[in-house]
Chains A and B, each alone.
Chain A
């Protein structure tokens, strides 16, 4: 059962030496942090490693949290930085959807799915799959905006960008996502959007 205390109250208690309060904070934010990490790593193991690393980093610098923004915004900026560092280290292939190889992959994926389309047909499934094929930045912006319920300004703080830049990037990310859905689902997309 999760605590009803606010993030700030839990932070105060953590700074006072109550580690159980921090465990409550972790429980509260772990799903989103893990989801955001998944946008960068594509594997559950790596995403979990990134997410754990983020919570440990956040604990280390909890006293430095200025409280001028929401705790979640501050935490997501740690996730973003950690995930970007992870990408640089792992040299994950971050090629665009427009890349020829990715296009071939998607074609194969779509045709492979045709057989069991009926079983797997779930809106969330296709959408998550399409987001997983986006560039990490695009996927992160969409995730922060729709799942993290972050405003354009807050996303700007998280990703160290101007709110206007975020607005343009969000617009382009949604366009690419739509294109990807159309590409991977072909006729099926008409039913979805």
Chain B
């Protein structure tokens, strides 16, 4: 019985192979038990297809949008959706800073200072001027420009969102 129902449901749903489809249709045509069961299941299937959906309250969409507005009032969606972008920017800065640091340390030659102050011979201060080489300053400026653009972009986004509201 179960096997028959199983075959018939697969036939009705169209989830069986073509050969099986043909075999079942022959059985329905020739076997009375199959035919009766098929008609019963088809009637049940039609009934299920006609089921009506439930209706939420009239204010449903409004409530959803109100919740979203409250949650996202100050945040533009695109700025917060993909955290990978934020991570990427963060990694880029870290990488740049590390690169600069390594480069600076590699090119620095520590030596004593010649100033009016006389420190004990055992204490040697690094030459700060040597840290400010052309590449370092360029890197620093580049970092500042990128950071400035990033903050300017954030400011513009904030302004466009407040205009929309």
Contact = CB atoms under 8 A, between A and B. Distances in A.
Asked if A and B bind, the verdict is yes
Interface of A: 14-17, 19, 22-23, 26-27, 30-32, 34-35, 38, 44, 47-48, 51-52, 55-56, 59, 62-64, 123-124, 127-128, 131, 142, 146-147, 152, 167, 170-171, 174-175, 178, 192-193
Contact of A174 (B9, B15, B61, B78): B9
Interface in B15-54: 15, 40, 43-44, 47-54
Contacts of B77: 14-15, 17, 62-63
Nearest to A175: B5
B2 to A, nearest CB: 8
Given A152-B15, A171-B6, A56 B68 contact: yes
B61 A30 contact: yes
Contact of A124 (B10, B51, B61): B51
Contacts of B72: 59
Contact of A31 (B53, B67, B160): B53
Contacts, number: 106
A55 B15 contact: no
Contact of B61 (A14, A23, A178): A23
Contacts of B51: 124, 127-128, 131, 146-147
B53 A17 contact: no
Contacts of B164: 17
B56 interface: yes
Contact of B56 (A19, A34, A131, A178): A34
Contacts of A128: 51-52, 54
A170 B13 CA distance: 11
Q: How large is the interface on B (under 10, 10 to 19, 20 to 34, 35 or more residues)?
A: 35 or more
B64 interface: yes
Nearest to A51: B56
A38 B53 CA distance: 10
Interface of B: 5-6, 9-10, 13, 15, 40, 43-44, 47-57, 60-61, 63-65, 67-69, 71-72, 76-78, 81-82, 160-161, 164
A68 to B, nearest CB: 17
A48 B60 contact: yes
Nearest to A61: B81
Contact of A55 (B9, B47, B50, B64): B64
Given A127-B47, A128-B51, A15 B63 contact: no
B68 A22 contact: yes
A146 B48 contact: yes
Given A31-B54, A175-B5, A193-B43, A142 B48 contact: yes
A147 B50 CA distance: 8
18 contacts: A17-B161, A17-B164, A19-B65, A19-B69, A31-B54, A34-B56, A34-B60, A35-B54, A51-B56, A63-B81, A123-B47, A127-B48, A142-B48, A147-B53, A152-B15, A167-B13, A171-B6, A193-B44
